[in-house]
Amino acid sequence: MNIQRFTAPTSREAMAKARLTFGESAVILSTRSTGDGFEVMAAAEESLASLADQAPAPSRAAPTTPPAARARTATAALPESVESDTEALAMSTLSFQDYVRERMLRKRRESLHGTAPAAAHEEPAAERRAPLQTAAPQIIARPEPVAVPVQRFNQPEPIVARNPAPIRTRSAEPAWEDSVPPTRFPSNGDSRMAVELSALKDMIEERFNTLAWLGSSKQNPIQSNLMLKMIRAGYSPAMSRAVLERVPTDAGAAEAVRWLMDVITRNLKVAAPGAGLCDEGGVVSLIGATGVGKTTTAAKLAAQCVKQYGAASVGMITLDTYRVSGFEQLRAFGRMLGVVAHLAHDRAALKDLLNLLSNKRLVIIDTAGLGQRDQRIQDMLDVLDIPKVKKTLVLNAGAQGDTLDEVLTSFKASTLHGVVLSKVDEAVKLGPALDALIRHQVVLRGVANGQRVPEDWQNADAAALVRLSMGTQGKSAYDPLATDMGYFFAQASGRGIDLGASHV
């Protein structure tokens, strides 16, 4: 067996030396990198073919043996030197792939140039070498692109020429792979699409809710009439819907009206009888927006207390240093009642005056009017942040519902001792005021319904106020029609305004 070793700086040069020595039919047995360069072990194709001729032919008369036994017999029949050389010089997977790649490329070039006989001549040689190369114990895997049929040494089969399969090579895979996909940032097109989808969803909900209300109004005319009555009275659609969704289905018209008024009365918080501001006593500060009647309300409270407990039981303080003649107005009321009015410019002066008037049954603090969007509201609340001071908000009963909501939010409704509803005689509809009081869950401490001191002052009566709010006031340009009621129910009830701690 003629096996030679070729060394060159590169693998291509070493294989070129092997082909120069053994011709184009040279068989590469192994390749490896050494200190001198790249080493290639090669042999002639004829020497490998002679090994196949030396294998003993099986006898026809001999009993049939399994293929595994025949393979062991053929391996044992080879010379000991050939077996040792084959094991020592076995081809690695990488070198075998390089060899197959070069042979296939060369055959493809020959087929393109019209040298088909040469390709047909070399194909059987490759088929004869394949069993010896793949039978080596050190070859890890058979290359997939080269489909070589298994043959016995003494029974070669005819090879049918076919187009070579594409060569697959190993590519360097990354050592790690990120399991989290890269984040895709939304583009302007995605934002526009989201806005359009949201608008389409809202439109569909509006149409379906409108149709649902129209269908419900036809099936339950009592509920639809009560809804129209509440909307005309000034109650918000959210509260109206939340209440009327629980109307008993078997109730008649009169029973439904009584049930509705009872529910509103129960949810409107008012001071208990005998627990008004004058009866409680202490330090009461009146705060609120401009023009709601804080100074007049302070005079009414002082007059009520003077009437019951005498002039010595009342003290009056004003913090109104912004309004022209604000202090003069309170002092004029005090002279009529026999009460001295004091002026405090800051928090320290207020504390000194409170200590001076600590023996009084009721001390009333009048403050400057500030709009609900004024930045000085927090400064005024900080001045009044004294443990004994009861902050009481004065609300205009004739204001719009949205304005009342904003005032209650700006003056911290959750920290208020109570609310005084002023100018009830000027309000066309009490529904917005009662609706805001119910939703913000504040206590109504008193009602001022005129300018007279002290006659126009009443203790809060929930049932009377609800009856007054539900009374018919005649036609108005702002009253909806029965055919327009569907537009008040464009959104689902779950998206309405929070009713707080109210219950039905």
Alpha-carbon 24 to chain mean position: 70
Q: Which helix (H) or strand (E) holds 30?
A: strand 27-34
**What CA–CA distance (Å, rounded) separates 119 from 492?**
81
Q: What would the pLDDT profile of 326-355 be if each residue is shown by its tens digit? A: 788 888 888 888 899 999 988 999 999 999
| CA neighbor of 333 nearest in space, from 284, 384, 297 | 297
The HSE-up count of residue 139 (CA atoms within 13 Å, CB side) is 20
Q: What would the pLDDT profile of 154-205 be if each residue is shown by its tens digit? A: 444 444 445 545 544 444 444 444 455 555 555 666 788 888 888 888 888 7
| CA neighbor of 41 nearest in space, from 109, 138, 167 | 138
Q: Is the dihedral of CA 322, 323, 324, 329 positive or negative?
A: negative
The HSE-up count of residue 392 (CA atoms within 13 Å, CB side) is 35
Whether the link from the prior residue into 454 is cis, omega within 30° of 0, is yes
pLDDT, position 247: 84
| CA neighbor of 38 nearest in space, from 78, 92, 118 | 92
DSSP three-state, residue 500: coil
Task: Specify whether the CB–CB gap between 499 and 235 falls below 8 A.
Answer: no
Q: Which helix (H) or strand (E) holds 29?
A: strand 27-34
**What CA–CA distance (Å, rounded) separates 93 from 90?**
10
pLDDT, position 504: 60
pLDDT, position 91: 52
pLDDT, position 54: 56
DSSP three-state, residue 491: coil
Task: Specify whether the CB–CB gap between 151 and 157 falls below 8 A.
Answer: yes
Give the start-end residues of each E strand in 26-68.
27-34, 37-43
pLDDT, position 437: 94
pTM reported for the whole predicted model: 0.54
The residues facing 155 across adjacent strands are 152
Give the start-end residues of each E strand in 75-188.
none
- Residue owning tokens 């489909």: 147
Residues of the chain short of pLDDT 70, as ranges, are 1, 48-97, 114-189, 209-219, 324, 472-474, 482-504
pLDDT, position 488: 59
**C-alpha angle with apex 59: 55 to 61, nearest 5 degrees?**
170
